[in-house]
Chains A and B, each alone.
Chain A
Amino acid sequence: MRERHNPSWRQVLGATVFAMAAIGSAGAARAQGTTLTLMFLGSYQAANEQAIAGFQKENPDIAVKASYTAEPQSIRALFTTGNAPDIPMVYPGDGSAIAVKQLARAGLLEDLSGEAWAKSVSPSFIQSVTFQDKVYVLPTGYSYITMYANDEVMKSVGAAVPRNFADLLAFCDKAKATTIPMAFGLKEQLPVLFPGYALAASTAFADNARFAEDQAAGKASFSTGYRASMEMYLQMRDHGCFSKDASGNSNDDALRQVAGGKAALYVGVINYLPLIMKYNPDARIIQVPFPGNADVAKVRLPLGPTPGYGISAQSKNKAAAKKFIAYLQRPEVNRAWATAAAQLAGADIDAAPQTPGNSEAIREFLVAKRTVLYLDRAWPNARIQPVYMAGVQQLFAGQTTIDALLKRLDDTYALGAQ
């Protein structure tokens, strides 16, 4: 049998010291304040770090620990395992595995409708950041798809920048003898979207501004609306707009070609301008809307909110996270963020957005509201965009037909929200 002892003074002293140490460390932890976790696409690192530095200066008790990924889908896996960051990157719309409607539908995002900034989100784009009329994401920046023209190459060809589709084909016919008319990174899937979206925006959506709503209501389909854009895409190929090596080029190859004067034109998002200028700081690059229609009046500029900031419903630091997002929405912070991310500031999108570089023509389109929301923002599931990208690659490789591709897109759209 074990004997019971009264505690000695040494034991009492030891316990007291231990307890004081424990209390002390808890106090130290409180003094350290809150640590917010944030996860975003790597290409936004500069913009984020700049905003985080400014925020922490104002809020020394809140640390923001940011991590970056090249595979944003991994954020969904973090939600799966219960390890979601306090502030995850969230895509607008429903067309991605980490799109706002997908995550909000599963109850994984905090409702931010009560935040002061929520009422100032542009009415033109509010649908992209809401689910069942509740706002879940701050759309910090906006991007557009533009046609970049290397002025020096255009002059050497002796041609003006094309303003309608007939001009574009005529330009390709003329320029292909001396240069690559349009740089294209067809080996990768993402670049496939840029001319494709620009063509559809200026055809399907120019003819019917409510095409997306009609498609959702079953009154329109890819087969009825996108045929012209696919045919025009192939016409561009047949007129030699793209080099014969385009299918082996990456998007980065294409950016280097237009920057270095090996190609005259390139179609892509505005976010690529810093890269082009990095590859050739002396290049004079002009931006114009992609001439996706024979009628100049029907040309439209694809535009949309880029990935934004949400708050995980699992977060234990919601108040601090809301404070950070409110900070990002301040006009001066938002403009600085947008400049660093090479995008348009959300704060200015309805008024007079400042467009970077030589982009007077783009600005005219923005002011005149000759824009179309990025097509995938209104698609109901994450499968449609990959089918579109792979399908266009197959179309160029002769492995499918326009009819078959449009049917596959319609079938995938019909799967609805998933």
Chain B
Amino acid sequence: MSGLVPPPAGIRRALQVPWWFVAVPLGLYVAVVIYPSLAGALYAFTDWSGIGAFRWIGLANFRAVMIDDEATSSLGNTVVLALSTTLIQNLVGLSLALALNRRTRLNSVLRPLFLAPALLAPVVVGVIWQYVYAPEGALNAILSLLHLDGLRRPWLGLADTAIWSVAITVVWQFVGITMVIYIAGLQAIAPELHEAAAIDGSGALRRFRDITLPLLAPAITVNVLLPFIGGLKLFDQILVMTAGGPGYATQTVALMIYRQAFTFGAFAYSTALAVVLTVLVAVAAMIQLAVLRRREMPA
């Protein structure tokens, strides 16, 4: 039987937060986020060009999205980037967390170092890496130093390397956050569990598989969900590093939304794309959350 005894009704009442406390922030959220989003989404059913009058055209914009090669290719790029960055970020982030989990002086220096790029604006990161990947940039210079001149190439100028170059940049920037979340998860695991398993003869790999991983499930949920949603919305780094090129090789849905609205003046079509992206993000997030939550257990 639990030793917890509920407090008396009077104290419970005193501790209760009045419902109207939430009214102001909720009202603000509805006014600033919900209402403009829904009102904006209505333009997806019009032919509005961003200026002047418009008329209702039903689902025509959504039908156009479905048969637009550029939209399909942008969607493909977006999914590739979201999946690859999520996967690599988690593998590298977890490895770093395992390596830096112990409290040592070196680790207390390395942890903030790995986290630092996350504090930079994505645009700044894009500009920095643009120089790294330039034909005369740092990466090619390093390859030359290592006598690997055959590997030198214009990384952002080739369709088959540009998207992976961007993915690595994104991972570099955000892997520190993933690492920190995993370290928090690792430190919540009681060391006694590992000690008991070790006494029972479990090796390090077995302990990682049977103790660490299951108990890290909440951290995994967060670390899969956040980078994946971030990957689906990727915009700044792409705009700065490749502007979606060469051709459309790195164009994401977010970049296409921007271009349709502000370069072409196709606000309605752009809004339809934004609605599709929103639905995609929401569905992906719900599926991930449902699957990952099922694996979670209390530490």
Contacts and interface: CB of A to CB of B under 8 A. Distances in A.
A270 interface: no
B158 A397 contact: yes
A220 to B, nearest CB: 24
Nearest to A391: B247
A246 B265 contact: no
Contacts of B50: 76-77, 79-80, 97
A249 B137 CA distance: 11
A8 interface: no
B163 to A, nearest CB: 13
A253 interface: yes
B265 A248 contact: no
Interface string A191-211: 000000000000000000000
Interface stretch (A164-172, A181-189, A286-294, A339-347): A181-189
Given A245-B154, A390-B245, A390-B247, A103 B133 contact: no
B51 A108 contact: yes
A247 B242 CA distance: 11
A382 interface: yes
Candidate in B243, B245, B267 with the most chain A CB atoms within 10 angstroms: B245
Contact of A248 (B52, B135, B249, B262): B135
A73 B265 CA distance: 9
28 contacts: A71-B262, A73-B263, A76-B262, A76-B265, A79-B50, A80-B50, A80-B267, A97-B50, A97-B265, A102-B51, A102-B265, A106-B49, A106-B52, A187-B156, A188-B245, A246-B154, A248-B135, A248-B154, A248-B155, A248-B156, A250-B134, A253-B134, A382-B263, A382-B264, A382-B265, A393-B245, A394-B248, A397-B159
Interface in A287-343: none
A73 B246 contact: no
B173 to A, nearest CB: 21
A400 interface: yes
Interface in B109-141: 133-136
Contacts of A390: 244-245, 247-248
B194 interface: no
A400 B247 CA distance: 9
A357 interface: no
Interface string A230-250: 000000000000001111111
A11 interface: no
A397 B246 contact: yes
B242 to A, nearest CB: 7
The dominant DSSP class at the B interface is: loop
Contacts of B51: 76, 79-80, 102-103, 106, 108
Nearest to B242: A187
A249 B157 contact: yes
Interface in B62-89: none
Given A187-B157, A399-B247, A97 B264 contact: yes
Nearest to B137: A248
Contacts of B264: 97, 381-383, 386, 418
Contacts of A247: 154, 157-158, 246
B49 A418 contact: yes
B259 interface: yes
Given A106-B51, A245-B154, A253-B134, A386 B259 contact: yes
A54 interface: no
Candidate in B136, B242, B246, B259 with the most chain A CB atoms within 10 angstroms: B246
B153 interface: yes
B266 interface: yes
Contacts of B158: 247-248, 397
The 5 closest A-B pairs by CB, nearest first: A248-B154, A247-B157, A394-B247, A245-B135, A248-B157
Given A97-B264, A382-B263, A390-B248, A188 B243 contact: yes
